[in-house]
Structure 1
Amino acid sequence: MEIKHNELSFQLMVEATPTALIVVNNYGKIAYLNNFSEKLFLYKKNELIGQDIGILIPQNKSSNHPAYIKEFFVNPKSRQMGENRELYALKKNGVTFPVEIGLNPLVTVDGTLVLAAIIDISDRKKADEQFRLVVESAPNAMIMVDNRGLIIMINKQTELLFGYSRDELIGQKMELLVPDRFKENHSNHRTSFYKKPTSRAMGAGRDLFALKKDGIEIPIEIGLNLIPKKDSQFVLASIIDITERKKNEEAFKEYTKSIEHKNQELEQFTYIASHDLSEPLNSIQGLISLIMDDEENNIDENLIVKLNFMDQSVTRMKELIKGLLDYARLGKNVESVEVDFNLLVKNVLSDLESSIKKHEANIIVENLPKIKAYELEIHLLFQNLISNAIKYRNSTIPPKIHISAKHVNNLWQFAIRDNGIGIPLDQKDKIFLLFQRLHARNEYSGVGIGLAHCKKIVELHNGNIWADSEVGKGSIFYFTLAVK
């Protein structure tokens, strides 16, 4: 009774399994199959029991099958059938489909049998084929590697990039494409990746290189993506040749160095030329003053007017030269310190006290931050912007100036708002250039350097400066300073 009970239990378990199960004897004859096998192969049980298992194998795959059965029964053990081979089965209606088959020996009183568990992998095959097509159509070289570092799939772009054919790469170690000086550590990097596998860029912060078949090294970028498959994990590497980008980056670096060098030369020239020009101008102005003092009673009024005009012109020239000298010195030998902007603006307003009182300016300062900056340059920045807000005032009402700041992302954004004459829309992009004047000298004094100073100071702090304005209603000057 125990044997019958065991046989009954076995039959119940086999029938309840949602997998096609077929029992085959050592002659290759079907001894038993479950209900799921009927659904899969479209046969009734009585149509298959006693038949050769070859009835379920496509004709072009069946010639070697008797030898495989004989081989199994020589050494019967649980294993996967047809490892590294594609297996196909045949339905009653003549349709073939891909399968996976697990073989398990069954020892019975009638001898050893084999239990074949058959899984239809058509859907998986379709998914694999779609995946293969996606990889094949990718614009970058794509290489799939297993956890041993063996290449199991590549696309056409890989062949074009590295110069190897598909057959030359499949089954090879990934190190084939790695320059000799990096091979030693490559396997360690792979082991490290599998310990904590995540989709990411490979070699962040390092320059990566690959080796082509012809021995040429190329700079590359690699993206790693984990691909779960069956009971294993694979890595799909997307490889981009960045040779042209590297060339462009190097060219840009050289160009930037050249520009920086020329800027340094220009600033040095500006400094020297401005300094050398100051001396003769001082002499001219001194001579004018001497003539007017010594010959005061002997000079007619027409000549006095001309001398005064010359003196004013020389004064403007000296102011211009001083502005150029100050501009050239900006950012030279400076060190950033923590600046209390409330105290700094208070000092600026103290410097401008006479102008503020004269024009009855109302200045409101909100609470400002403490950040690291170049203190003298920032002092000049606020002095220029506040002076301009007072200078370019509306003649009918006293100047009203509002100073504020707010934190935006990783920057401090400052705003200086006034109720002055405003800036025409077509001039907003020009006001920060050197020597740009929007008004005649007899209307507003100045040499057109102040806002250029402001722009350079802000850029020294990795920031930007811009203005919003409406003619007749006032302006808002914004600038940002990086948080250091």
Structure 2
Amino acid sequence: MLEYLKDDFISPLIFKNSVEGILVTSSDGLIVQANPSCLKTFGYSFDELIGQPVEKLLPGNLSTVHLQHRKNYVKNPQFRKMASGLELIGLNKVGNEVPLEISLSYVHSKVGLLVICFIVDISNSKKLERELKKERKMIQQYLEVTSSIFLILNKDETIAVANKAAGDLLGVSENELKGMNWFDEFIPESERENVRSLFHEMIDSKTGISLTNENLIINAQGEQRLIEWHNTVLKDRLGMPDATLSSGVDITEKRALEKTRKEALVMGQENERRRIAQELHDGLGQSISAINLNLNALEPELEGFTERFKGIYSNLKSKLNETIEEVRSISRNLTPRILEDFGLGRALEYLCDTIDKSTQVKLNLSLHGDLLNIDQKIALGLYRIIQELVNNALHHANPKNINVHVTRDKSEIIVLVEDDGGGFDPNMKFFGLGLSNMQSRVEVLNGQVEVDSNDKSGTTISITIPI
């Protein structure tokens, strides 16, 4: 065998240090060379392999088949991978099978044709592949049984992956969903632009932002559902945003229940206001009126009393009249009868005029459109919202001016309340009780709130209520 070993058909340095196993066989299949990586893969020493048939490194059931393949290769040698697309198995010294990738080459040497085998042990990659398959199967099983919606959207807005829950909700099979434009097919036109903008904001961000949002979707049956989404960006091998992964939960019933609860809370507040107003009128109001009548009955008898007594009487009478007016004012604020009798516009004029006269703050009211023919529920809700916002500004902002604008058009009523007092952080999670009540009332009326506030320019709160 020495003549094979002396042949310099391959660089000794490359041969010795290659991370790939290199095995050289003669045309009759005998092993004539093996580098350290090859010896390590199969667990043999150099002397144990040299001169042995190459089939020694194969499981017994493959030896016969390989023998025929080897003979065919010698007749027509070429550069190629062995069994392309198939899994190759070797056998190490202790009898364990080893998954391999093998490429073949050849050289015509002084002693004849030599076949060069480049061998890669892929045991670790196969193990990783099995683990990935197992994880993928578990993920697939989870996606099939979970009630959460999972979507992967490509950069071109098409659906790449959708789980069973998504298909069930949308009324389209998982396979049919693939390739459909998510925004054109399943986002209502009223929300399409905003939702599409959020998607491209994520995709175009190199930092790969994640966000949570809520939006309506429309299924194949035309039914709209409210979904809470948790979105994250998927990146390609270069680390660039390539798609989005979104998990969603249908919160339609949850939000409806919350709205019902808030409606009940608002209704409870109004009922309690009416009860207190009625008690003020029937109880305290009647008692004060009785006292006033008794005082009036004393007036003819005052001639016989001293001037000091007359002064005390006059002061008592004045204080009693102030108390009567205060009770009436509280009662009117609790149940604004003027709203029921003359509409929202007149009720707001009275409210603002009363506040303007009783404080040092200049309160300006601007009304536009028909505010008389409004559903009573909406009118009362708007009255309470504006009342709450004005009182909140008076108590917390210390403003010099408050401007209230109310505008009605064909489809909505827009309320704008501005003050020039001290602002607050609109990103705070928890507002005071006043603003919390206001937000609840807006949600009950299916409206939207926008808050702009800072220390320098005061606060502007915009409210839009559909009608």
Q: Structure 2-normalised TM-score?
A: 0.47
Comparing both structures, which one devotes a greater share of its residues to helix? 2
